[in-house]
Amino acid sequence: MATRVKDVQTNVEDLVTARETRAPSRQPLAVPIDQPVTFPLELPESEARLRTPAVGQRATRPDGRLHGLGQTQYIDDITFPHMLHAKILRSEYAHARIVSIDTSEAEKMPGVIATLTGAEVPENSFGPTYQDQPILAYPIARHRGDGVAAVAATTEQFALDALEKIKVEYEPLPAVYDPLEALEEDSPKVHGDTNIYTSKVIKKGDVEAGLAASEHVFERRFSTQMVEHVPLEPHATIASWDGNGRVSIWSSLGRITLGREDLARTLQMPQSRIRLIGTVVGGNFGGKNEITNEPIVALLSKKSRRPVKAIYSRGDEFVSSTIRHPFIMDYTTGVDSEGRILARKIRLVLDGGAYCSWTGTTIGKGSILAPGPYNIDNVLVEAYAVYTNKTTTGAMRGFGAPQVCFAYESQMDDIADALGIDPLEIRLRNGFSENSLSPTGQSLQSVALKESLTQAADRFRWKEWQA
Amino acid sequence: MLVELTVNGESRSANVPPETTLLKMLREHLDLTGAKLGCDVGDCGTCTVIVDGVSVNSCLMLAGRADGCDVTTIEGLATADELHPLQQKFEEHGALQCGFCGPGMLISAKNLLDNNPDPSVFEVRDALAGNLCRCTGYTKIIEAVIEAGEMMGQEQANV
């Protein structure tokens, strides 16, 4: 029998009347606090923010007040009804073939709603230059930070407990950890036939002739270590796959346009069905420039039909997110008796870790800047990026510039010391000035290197210190 | 288990699983998301709150241990009319960039100024030693804390 509107109305009215007559009115057990968070709503802009935004004036941030109030919403501060929490199981080996993954026991654990493995990812590869990195490793894991399976459960603790129940059978493969060993022909290969995946050569003049004509030749190897960005906010994502076949993703990713392209590729769906929301980011420094767990969380949301949140642990952050490239830098520099650089020959070996990420940018910038801000007629830079079975290296503040700066400035000090020249003086003698040519032949304008050095030396009273 | 405590002057309680940390209770059960989870092992200080006058890493303290305690979080600093001097000075100095360390940093600074209204730069550095910041290089934070201390001293003198 069809229900008519009138019937419904009558029923509701009956119910209301019944409740009012039968049930005594009850005070709630606890009175909710009417103002859980207190802050001024209409306070004038701080004086500092009203100053003319001009060079030499102190600038403040438009979001500075929110930060101080603790009111800025980062991803972990956002929740949705029925939201699940995802955790990722990482490889047990630095290099291994995954024979099988069994998630059935994990799926029986309390609170577990969905699991995911690499075989279920529609296009299991991504990367800004080469798409050599899997979303979840399958069938080969190439470093300990590679995810091999993921779990979405009603609490983080349930998800962590379930990870322990995932059975992964590995066949360990020989691994290579040293970038110089990785260059050798008989070294274990991370991808394909060679570990060299990017190289760069910069030539200017005749470096051998320049070295031959030099009064003194200095040779030294410099190396730098790997560095993690350690953003205080770990990588964070929430994904919600809706009944319209669209997915909304809140991500701490810095490059959301690029990220959406990668997501469309990995999820094999048009960009128009992906809504990527870049939230306030708690520190990036280059480490949040590419997708990481976004496709995993999106697919877990699709499987569970619920919003899913994934926050990297600090351990995930160190082992799985990108880090700064360690460099091994061989510098050979020829100078005349006055300390003027005649030739500089440089070989850079970049320890790339398991995948390419932003190595292209890093090797380019590192190579161009490797000879330093000095007028040198004869330059040769040869740079190689090599795969190793270690944490992936990628973008980080300066893209290779800090590594080479450490090497060339250290060598400038070596030269100054050996020839008895003041370290400031040797830099002024060789430094770029207006219209200097860079190692790649670019004519440089607005060069204030020597003025900056002189002013800085005056400010910290360099001459007095030397006396 | 039922945990009852005073947060920012209000009595609050929640039924939490026994493994719940004070940070989790504040964030997930009391909806006070100001204190952040940065490392979960007590290194970074983003979760700092004041418990009975001592600044603690709330990620290392079980909620049950805070039962009956008096807790101050970043949400308890401002009033409906004005910012806390620390919040004002941090804003003016641009002492927070990404802001993730801010809630913990300000709480550590507040606890310092509550106990030592006129700290030296060394004392400020010491008090903030457990709060990491990856953006600012700390200089502006220290300046802001010193100035906030001066401002609070003047407010006291005017009363």
Cβ(A394)–Cβ(A357) under 8 Å? yes
Structure confidence at residue A17 as a pLDDT band (50, 70, 90): low
Cα–Cα distance for residue pair A122/A124, rounded to 1 Å: 6
B chain contacts of residue A67, beta-carbon cutoff 8 Å: 90, 96, 98-99, 102
Chain A with chain B: Cβ pairs closer than 8 A: 145
Q: Which of A68, A74, A232 sits opposite B106 (nearest CB)?
A: A68
**Contact residues on chain A for B134, CB-CB shorter than 8 A:** 229-232, 283, 285
Fold adopted by B85-158: DNA polymerase; domain 1 (1.10.150)
List b or e across A448-464, with b for residues whose CB sees 16 or more CB atoms inside 10 angstroms: ebbeebeeebeeeebee
pTM above 0.95, yes or no: no
Nearest neighbour of A68 by CB, restricted to B10, B37, B87 = B87
Q: Indicate the residue of A30, A73, A283 with minimum beta-carbon distance to B134.
A: A283
Q: Which residue has the tokens 């008090």?
A: B127
Q: Quote ipTM for the complex.
A: 0.95
Contact yes or no for A38 and B86 at CB 8 A: no
Length in residues, chain B: 159
CA distance A265 to chain B (A): 30
Q: Of residues A50 and A33, which shows the higher confidence score?
A: A50
| B85-158 matches B2-76 in CATH topology | no
pLDDT for position A10: 52
List of chain B residues whose C-beta atoms are within 8 Å of the C-beta of residue A39: 78, 80, 83
Residue A112: per-residue pLDDT: 98
CB contact (8 A) between residue B83 and residue A73: no
Interface check A48 vs B, CB under 8 A: yes
Q: Is A281 on the interface with B (CB under 8 A)?
A: yes
- pLDDT at position A38 is 76
Asked if B83 lies within 8 A of A68 by C-beta distance, the reply is yes
Would you state the pLDDT for residue A23?
45
**Rounded Cα–Cα distance for residues B109 and A80 (Å):** 33
pLDDT in tens, A57-73: 777 788 999 999 999 99
Instruction: Tell me if chain B has a CB within 8 Å of the CB of A67.
Output: yes
Tell me the one-letter amino acid at A319: V
Contact B36 A233 (CB under 8 A): yes
Task: List, for residues B36-67, the tens digit of each pLDDT value.
Answer: 999 999 999 999 999 999 999 999 999 999 99
A79 → chain B, closest CA residue: B28
Is residue B88 within 8 Å of residue B150, measured between CB atoms?
no
The verdict on a CB contact (< 8 Å) between B81 and A232 is: no
Three-class DSSP category at B158: helix
Q: Which CATH class is domain B2-76?
A: alpha beta
What average pLDDT does range A386-392 have in this prediction?
98
Q: Nearest Cβ partner of A46 from B17, B91, B98?
A: B91
The per-residue pLDDT for A62 is: 86
Tell me the C-alpha distance between A366 and A268, whole Å: 35
Domains of chain A and CATH, by start: 77-172 (3.90.1170.50), 179-228+323-466 (3.30.365.10), 236-320 (3.30.365.10)
- The reply to whether residue B135 touches residue A314, judged by beta carbons under 8 angstroms, is no
Alpha-carbon distance A351 to A26, whole Å? 69
B158 band by pLDDT with thresholds 50, 70 and 90: confident
* Residues B94, A40: C-beta atoms closer than 8 Å: no
Q: Does B75 contact A37 at a Cβ distance shorter than 8 Å?
A: yes
Task: Using the predicted structure, report yes or no on whether residue A54 has a pLDDT greater than 80.
Answer: no
Is residue A142 within 8 Å of A354, Cβ to Cβ? yes
* Whole-number average pLDDT of chain A: 92
- Sorting pLDDT into bands at 50, 70 and 90, what band is A388? very high
Q: Which residues, including other chains, have CB under 8 Å from residue A327's CB and lie 6 or more apart?
A: A222, A223, A224, A348, A349, A350, A351, A366, A400, A403, A404, A407
Within 284-313 of A, beta carbons closer than 8 Å to B belong to 284-285, 311, 313
Phi, psi (degrees; rounded to nearest 5) at A85: -120, 130
Beta-carbon separation of A39 and B78 below 8 A: yes
- Please list every residue in chain A whose beta carbon sits closer than 8 Å to the beta carbon of residue B35: 70
Tell me which residue in A40, A60, A71 faces B81 most closely, judged by beta carbons.
A40
**Domain-by-domain residue ranges, chain B?**
2-76, 85-158
pLDDT tens digits along A202-225: 999 999 999 999 999 999 999 999
B101 vs A38: CB contact, 8 Å cut-off? no
**Mean pLDDT for the stretch of residues B2-22:** 95
Question: Taking residues A334-347, what's their average pLDDT?
Answer: 98
Asked if A58 is an interface residue toward chain B (Cβ–Cβ < 8 A), one would say yes
Contact B99 A281 (CB under 8 A): no
Point out the residue among A33, A39, A232 whose CB comes nearest to the CB of B101.
Answer: A232
Tokens, residue A51? 């100053």
Supply the pLDDT for residue A53: 62
Specify the pLDDT at position A18: 52
